[in-house]
Structure 1
């Protein structure tokens, strides 16, 4: 086994219970394309977490979940408001605009969060036939900077959006980490907070492959299965994705994994703050640590560890912990970092 990295929670392995569930689902045959009992059973679990009126469908990856959710909300002459650092803008190869045909209207932000005033500034050209018409906003929970919207902040955004005829999408690739930080249920910060469409992440939280599109606005649901097929995200052997979510929701494994990853990030951050010359650049509210480190030490650390250089100008790096990050992993990285400064 290679040394644990801190580059991404995508680098982690598969949780043993999920791997076991996949193996059990491999016994015999089952109907294809989601007509199996695993898929119907886990749909019930999703309704338990998001409400009886919620609909769910499973896809291969986060980009697929995002573009399917957004295409159900936005037509090609319309626009989606998001931050400059939003995954749909910065890390999906133009998939949203390419697949939907609409436009992303981006705004700068210091902490990864959208605000009502920023959204309001993007609405001044509503009604102009020369401009893409804003129809949706997309927020990330957790944000790409590891910060977390409070429930009140989400409600402020959704209330303003709905009052102005906008729909709200949440990119929840790390939504479990946000719930762990806030100490709330999934429903409290989505359905109850006014979110219309959610991309629910599984891969970053212990699954092998698979994400979910959770529709929380009934009138948007009928088109989703056709959009999924057209976007090449319909899995034939879907039971192997569904059974992972079933395992994730059993005995609150989703929350246990997220709490552990968050705790490892906090311990990592606390250790880094004790080293002169290192400064945290964002509050640690999830499983990501953002820190400024002198460039010569960054290069030295990269000889031993993989991690992301987030902002070259600020000498800012990102370290991400996972469900399988151990105290020993954290201590070893801190020890290596301390030696690099000696």
Structure 2
């Protein structure tokens, strides 16, 4: 019997876009053999499409594209591409690499993660970043070499194009690399109503972890290197990252099955279908939450962060959490204030939202 569970826990909980599944099935059922480890035609076609989408001119150098299994692997490979073990990576104190990837970034890469506080919307600004750069050249300190941000942030807020340019300019001023953890980059682009190029190459991003799983892929992410200097090793060899790709155990043998998913997602901006839907469902859910009845003229819930992508953060009565999460599992974000996170996905429906709101109304009546 099929499991009918629906959730607001994470877009990782959702299944696979039907179009992605069809592309995988077609490739698998073709009975074609293909060269392994990314030497196949499908992977090459995906790389060329990424070049077309992210670069402003066909004459621009090809970016380095490395498909990996998961987001942690994408971030680790990105760090390795930019740093040596005596370097440091500047990140926010709520960033995925420091809060949700265990100790793997530091253990595998050898770098130090330097976290800095975010504002109330989960963003880091250039003034606070610059405060952490006063020991560049000091042999007694880990040397900052990379700034990483999540776009969108862990609070579901989106850096504007101007904010991205400010961070990029700061990175260039101090000879640092600018990395974007784009696990939900498609949602950010839909929120800003812009192209993927507008929030990456056009603002000076050096390297990108491009998420696929949260956008409806079965699995797979991509590391895209725009800064050509990162494609050279210390001894001048071309594309040295291919050796590190293997070293960190993220090189898939049948890589075409990751590439075919990105090819499907990126062709004709198909990614907009899932990102616009999940963003739209979050806006609908927000509207329904805001229309809930009040008690003694006071709202029973409080939305705590701007709703800009497919995430809603809100504070709820503590005794609501168990009965609501039994119906639709979701995460408690901050126990002290009973702040929770609700995530919509490409397959979230209005019926899901109706059932969730109906359950809240039951709790209010009781």
* Corresponding residue number in structure 1 for 2:197: 187
Kindly indicate whether residue 280 of structure 2 is the aligned counterpart of residue 271 of structure 1. no
Aligned-pair CA distance for 1:298: 1.5
Aligned-pair CA distance for 1:127: 2.1
Report which stretch shifted further, 197-206 or 329-338: 329-338
1:9 to 8, 11, 27: 11
Deviation string, structure 1 residues 227-247 (Cα, Å, up to 9, x no partner)? 110000000011111101111
Q: Give the alignment's Cα RMSD to 1 decimal.
A: 1.0
* Corresponding residue number in structure 1 for 2:123: 113
Deviation string, structure 1 residues 274-323 (Cα, Å, up to 9, x no partner)? 22311101000111110000111112212222101001111100010111
Report which stretch shifted further, 140-149 or 291-300: 291-300
Aligned-pair CA distance for 1:165: 1.3
Q: SS of the counterpart of 2:46?
A: helix
Kindly indicate whether residue 58 of structure 2 is the aligned counterpart of residue 35 of structure 1. no
Does the 8 Å contact 1:69/1:224 carry over to 2?
A: no
CA distance in 2, matches of 1:82, 1:323: 29
* Corresponding residue number in structure 1 for 2:338: 315
* Corresponding residue number in structure 2 for 1:47: 51
1:125 to 135, 143, 147: 135
Q: SS of the counterpart of 1:149?
A: coil
CA distance in 1, matches of 2:363, 2:285: 16
* Corresponding residue number in structure 2 for 1:303: 326
* Corresponding residue number in structure 2 for 1:287: 310
Runs (5+) with no aligned partner, structure 2: 232-238, 293-298
| 4+ residue runs over 6 A deviation | none
Q: Which has the larger radius of gyration?
A: 2
CA distance in 2, matches of 1:333, 1:38: 42
CA distance in 1, matches of 2:341, 2:302: 12
Q: SS of the counterpart of 1:168?
A: strand
**TM-score when normalising by structure 2:** 0.92
CA distance in 2, matches of 1:76, 1:297: 46
Does the 8 Å contact 1:60/1:211 carry over to 2?
A: yes
